[in-house]
Amino acid sequence: MGSQDPKQTRSQQGVQKIKAAVALHYDGQGAPSVAAKGFDHRAEQLIEDMKREGKLIHEDHELVRWLQNMEVGETIPENLYIVIAELIAFAWYLDGKNPPQWEGKVLNKKV
C-alpha cells in the first residue's frame, strides 16, 4: 500500500506543483513587458532577487499562468492591462510615487 493521503482526489495524487515566477518591467510609458521568468529553482531565485531589490512580490497563480507563456521582452496583452495597472499603481503607491503624468494632481480630495 502507498502512503498517499486518502482524502486527496486522484487528480491531486502524485502531482507536483511547479513553482513559476514572472517579473515585469514598466518605465511609465507604453505597456509593461516581461523582464524575466523562471520555473522551480530559477523562480525561487527570481523571487529572492526581487525581494532583495525591494520590489513588489504579488502571488497570483492565474496571472502567472497567463504571463509564463510570454517571451522575455514581450509586452503584456491588452486583456491584462487593468490587473497589471492596478498592481503597478499599488507598487508605486507603496514607494510614495505617482505616474509622471499625475505629478501635482490630487485624485481623491477626501483622503
pLDDT tens digits along 11-44? 444 555 779 999 999 887 889 999 999 999 999 9
- What does the CA dihedral 65, 66, 71, 75 come to, rounded to 10 degrees? -150
For position 15, what pLDDT does the model report?
54
CATH number of 20-102: 3.40.1690.10
Whether pTM exceeds 0.85: no
Q: Return the domain boundaries, the chain.
A: 20-102
DSSP β-bridge partners for residue 75 = 33
Nearest of 88, 28, 27 to residue 63 by alpha carbon? 88
For position 4, what pLDDT does the model report?
43
Average pLDDT, the chain: 79
pLDDT tens digits along 67-100? 999 999 999 999 998 899 888 888 888 888 776 6
